[in-house]
């Protein structure tokens, strides 16, 4: 697979020896209109491509493990790009960070083989949703946690989550604008833990559909409020129809926490939770 840079020079007959780098990125989704570049909008991809280009001295195309929506955060998004310039690894971390806005930062960089691709060779993605249960809306945590003003039945939500595990057609949890080729995904893990008035939902899957986690959150909260039994989740999944499901829940508490790759690439395997629950 030729890179954007290689394509640029290919027609000129130039031969370049390109290096490929993988970077781990964290960002505050409140500052951006999502991951993907959009005209006249501030996006994470757009800011990274500008910053890396300044360090590399040429245009770059950045590829990510997955796209996140406006308001969704990342603790460990993985990207890659190609370059023909020689820079120390610190240039792709501290150097690039010097050109980035405060809401996004490179955590580490590593040279990888040319057959590495941040999206296509990933074997699993991991998300965490933080939900605050409190009568009063958050202020210091606004935009960083989801919020409900009522209590919920956590055991009922745990029971309902079991119906989602495994390989299924997740059309009932798929946004209308989702571009995935297939709605069939393998959900490997849902774990719900409690710390005081905060609920922590951890999700792992081979890949996720657009809005899939937020739509599952909406369905679990529907059950947690007592509006249906945990078994209703199995019925909802079987409908394969988004119109039968509750509304998409807010993006505020959703974090991309990590991406799993084959061991051959030697990338760090665990996210670094630098801020407690996140």
Q: Supply the residues annotated as catalytic.
A: 69
How many CB atoms within 10 Å of residue 261? 21
Bridge partner list, 78 = 24
Q: Tell me what percent of the chain is helix, strand and coil, each rounded to the nearest 5.
A: 25, 25, 45
Beta strand extents in 100-183 (DSSP E only): 104-112, 124-133, 146-148, 166-169
Please state, in angstroms and rounded to a whole number, the distance separating the CA atoms of residues 161 and 196. Answer: 21
Lookup: tokens for 50: 């500008």
213 contacts 129 by C-beta, under 8 angstroms: yes
Q: Report CA dihedral (21, 25, 31, 34) to the nearest 10 degrees.
A: 70
Which of 43, 22, 37 shows the shortest CA–CA distance to 100? 43
Instruction: Please report where in the chains the tokens 């792992």 appear, as a residue.
Output: 204
Instruction: Please report where in the chains the tokens 């922590």 appear, as a residue.
Output: 200
Establish how many alpha carbons lie within 13 A of residue 106's alpha carbon, considering only the half-sphere containing its beta carbon: 26
Cα dist. 52→82, 156, 241 in Å?
Answer: 10, 47, 42
């Amino acid at each position: 697979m030729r890179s954007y840079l290689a394509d640029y020079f290919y027609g000129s007959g130039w031969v370049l020896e390109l290096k490929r780098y993988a970077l781990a990125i964290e960002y505050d989704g409140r500052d951006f209109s999502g991951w993907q570049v959009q005209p006249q909008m501030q996006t994470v991809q757009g800011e990274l491509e500008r910053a890396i280009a300044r360090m590399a001295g040429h245009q770059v195309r950045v590829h990510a493990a997955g796209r996140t929506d406006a308001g969704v955060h990342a603790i460990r998004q993985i990207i890659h790009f190609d370059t023909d310039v020689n820079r120390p690894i610190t240039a792709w971390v501290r150097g690039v960070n010097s050109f980035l806005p405060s809401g996004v930062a490179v955590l580490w960089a590593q040279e990888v083989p040319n057959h590495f691709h941040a999206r296509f060779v990933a074997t699993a993605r991991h998300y965490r949703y933080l939900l605050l249960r409190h009568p009063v809306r958050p202020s210091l945590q606004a935009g960083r946690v989801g919020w409900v003003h009522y209590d919920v039945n956590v055991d009922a939500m745990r029971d309902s989550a079991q119906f989602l595990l495994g390989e299924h057609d997740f059309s009932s949890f798929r946004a209308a604008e989702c571009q995935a080729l297939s709605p069939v995904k393998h959900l490997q893990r849902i774990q719900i833990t409690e710390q005081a008035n905060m609920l922590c939902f951890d999700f792992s899957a081979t890949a996720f559909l657009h809005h899939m986690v937020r739509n599952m959150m909406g369905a679990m909260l529907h059950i947690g409020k007592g509006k249906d039994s945990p078994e209703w989740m199995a019925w909802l999944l079987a409908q394969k129809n988004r119109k039968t499901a509750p509304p998409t829940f807010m993006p505020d508490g959703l974090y991309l926490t990590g991406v799993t790759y084959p061991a051959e690439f030697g990338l760090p395997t665990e996210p670094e939770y630098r801020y407690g629950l996140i």
